[in-house]
């Protein structure tokens, strides 16, 4: 598909003007755009969305391409605006590095017991202890895509052994590098000290993390969920924590967001809750990523990071 000279971009997000500025600066010329409140919005041919799709479907009869400013596109599956003839692309940009920072930042904070040193400082108490370390441990990355591969490379650089799971098919070379598909999961779980969930939310991954998968984990393992809350059976995770499988959980994403105040996760001493912050981009990075695809669109080149409708990711 090729862009046309009369293309009009609908931009939605917290600050559409900032996104348009960043994209235009990157392209080197103004991008023709409108906000959702503009009367011309219904004639948009392209939708650059840095927001959840709105509750009510938009009437966009001329739409040909939706570019989502996020990496996870599960909220777009089944949307009436994503018609058969409309393309959907997603954003990678600096998200893999941000996600890797989050994973290693929180794991290191836990192993080093950053919270303890802070408490001791506040109490002016001098006490020494030998910290835990990531090096020499095994990390299992479930969902070895754009983000999982960058997390894996970071883990290797920190001296971890890396195992990874993807849907597949998996080549012999990949198997030799510790990558497997679903039949490898029980063996991988038995070996992993850290399990990082990076699966997209699809019909297949709904409650993927269930009682039998937590039971297959090594006692003392740490579970990190940075993908989507829907992939976890929460009752099974809470029961697993009671059995130390996993012993601790670092959770950035939840079935209901914001996480309801009555959720047992908030007060759980071995759960670390963050507010879906692991991979938030900026207007600048989101605008630049859109600009690159806009350039391709206008030139009639293949777009980057096209979502596969049949797979749902
Ligand atoms: N917390 C945050 O702020 C944040 C930010 C960005 C992204 N995310 C989440 O991170 C997810 C991953 O992003 P990504 O860009 O790395 O996605 P991606 O490039 O699409 O990779 C997804 C990986 O999951 C694998 N997979 C899919 N279904 C599977 C199944 N049923 N069983 C086993 N493996 C399966 C895929 O296997 P194949 O390689 O065989 O296709 C692929 O390796 C996103 O979908 C999003 O939900 C969260």
Q: How far is the CA of 201 from the centre of ligand 1 (A)?
A: 8
Distance 198 CA to ligand 1 centre (A): 5
pLDDT of res. 2: 85
Tell me: do 68 and 51 sit in the same domain.
Answer: yes
Query: Is residue 117 one of the residues assigned to a domain?
Result: yes
Q: Sort strands 9-13 and 46-50 into parallel, antiparallel or unpaired.
A: parallel
pLDDT of residue 49: 98
CB-based contact 64:43 (threshold 8 Å): no
CA of 235 to the centre of ligand 1 (A): 23
Is residue 24 a part of any domain in this protein? yes
Contact 63, 85 (CB under 8 A): no
Q: Is 307 within a domain?
A: no
Does residue 313 lie in a domain region? no
The stretches in the chain having pLDDT less than 50 are none
- Residue of the nearest CA to atom 4 in ligand 1? 279
Q: Are residues 88 and 100 in the same domain?
A: no
Catalytic residue (choose from 75, 276, 296, 298)? 276
Pair (257, 294) in one structural domain? no
Reduced 3-state DSSP string for 119-160: HHHHCCCCCCCCCCCCCCCEEEEECCCHHHHHHHHHHHHCCC
Q: What's the domain range around 103?
A: 96-273
Distance of CA 262 to the CA centre of its chain: 25
Do 65 and 186 have their domain in common? no
User: Does pTM surpass 0.85?
Assistant: yes
State the Cα–Cα distance between residues 229 and 278, nearest whole angstrom.
13
Does residue 182 sit in the same domain as residue 118? yes
Classified as helix, coil or strand, 55 is coil
The most distant pair of C-alpha atoms in the chain lies apart, rounded to whole Å, by 68
The position carrying tokens 């605006």 is: 81
CATH of the domain at 234: 3.40.50.720
Q: Could you tell me the end-to-end alpha-carbon distance of the chain, in angstroms, rounded to an integer?
A: 20
| Residue 201 shares a structural domain with residue 181 | yes
Provide the pLDDT for residue 1. Answer: 78
**Nearest CA, atom 21, ligand 1:** 145
Which is nearest to 217 in space by CA: 138, 158, 272, 300? 138
Task: Provide the pLDDT for residue 300.
Answer: 96
Q: Compute the distance from residue 311 Cα to the ligand 1 centre, in Å.
A: 11
Residue 306: inside a domain, yes or no?
no
Residues 13 and 126 in one domain: no
Q: Counting atoms of ligand 1 from 1, which one is nearest the CA of 200? A: 45
56 and 147, same domain (yes or no): no
Between the CA of 209 and the centroid of ligand 1 the distance, in Å, is 14
Residues 123 and 256 in one domain: yes
Q: Quick one: tokens of 57?
A: 């479907």
DSSP string covering 32-52: -EE-TTSTTGGG-SEEEEESP
Query: What's the structural domain count of the chain?
Result: 2
In this structure, the answer to whether residues 112 and 249 fall within a common structural domain is yes
Q: How far apart are CA 195 and CA 191, in angstroms?
A: 10
73 belongs to a structural domain:
yes
Select which of 67, 228, 245, 248 is catalytic: 228
The answer on 139 and 36 residing in a single domain is no
Query: Is there a domain that residue 310 lies in?
Result: no
Q: Report d(CA 86, CA 83) in Å as an integer.
A: 5
In a domain, 312, yes or no: no
Q: Does the annotation count 166 as an active-site position?
A: no
Q: Which residues, other chains included, contact 177 with Cβ-Cβ below 8 Å and sequence gap of 6+?
A: none
Please check whether residues 133 and 191 belong to one and the same domain.
yes
Pocket of ligand 1 from Cβ distances under 6 Å: 71-72, 95, 99, 143-148, 165-168, 182, 198-202, 204-205, 226-228, 252-253, 276, 278-280, 313
Contacts of 162 (CB under 8 A, 6+ apart): 138, 139, 140, 141, 152, 155, 156, 178
């Amino acid at each position: 598909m090729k862009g046309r000279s009369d293309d009009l971009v609908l931009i939605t997000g917290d600050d559409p003007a900032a996104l348009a500025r960043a994209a235009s600066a990157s392209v080197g010329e103004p991008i023709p755009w409108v906000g959702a409140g503009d009367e011309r919005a219904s004639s948009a041919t392209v939708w650059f969305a840095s927001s959840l799709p709105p509750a009510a479907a938009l009437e966009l009869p001329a739409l040909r391409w939706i570019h989502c400013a996020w990496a996870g596109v599960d909220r777009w599956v089944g949307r009436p605006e994503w018609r058969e003839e409309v393309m959907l692309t997603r954003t990678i940009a600096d998200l893999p590095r941000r996600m890797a920072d989050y994973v290693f930042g929180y794991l290191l904070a836990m192993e080093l017991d950053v919270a303890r040193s802070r408490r001791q400082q506040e109490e002016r108490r001098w006490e020494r202890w030998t910290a835990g370390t990531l090096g020499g441990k095994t990390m299992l990355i479930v969902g070895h895509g754009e983000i999982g591969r960058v997390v894996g490379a970071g883990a290797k650089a920190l001296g971890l052994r890396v195992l990874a799971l993807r849907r597949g098919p998996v080549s012999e070379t990949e198997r030799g590098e510790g990558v497997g598909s679903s039949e490898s999961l029980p063996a991988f779980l038995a070996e992993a000290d850290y399990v990082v969930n990076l699966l997209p939310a699809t019909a297949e991954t709904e409650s993927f993390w269930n009682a039998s998968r937590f039971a297959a984990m090594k006692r003392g393992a740490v579970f990190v969920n940075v993908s989507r809350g829907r992939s976890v059976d929460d009752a099974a995770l809470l029961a697993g924590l009671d059995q130390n499988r996993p012993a601790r959980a670092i959770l950035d994403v939840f079935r209901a967001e914001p996480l309801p105040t009555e959720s047992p996760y908030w007060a759980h001493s071995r759960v670390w809750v963050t507010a879906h912050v692991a991979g938030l981009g900026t207007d600048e990075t989101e605008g630049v990523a859109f600009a690159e695809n806009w350039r391709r669109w206008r030139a009639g080149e293949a777009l980057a990071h096209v979502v596969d409708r049949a797979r749902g990711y």
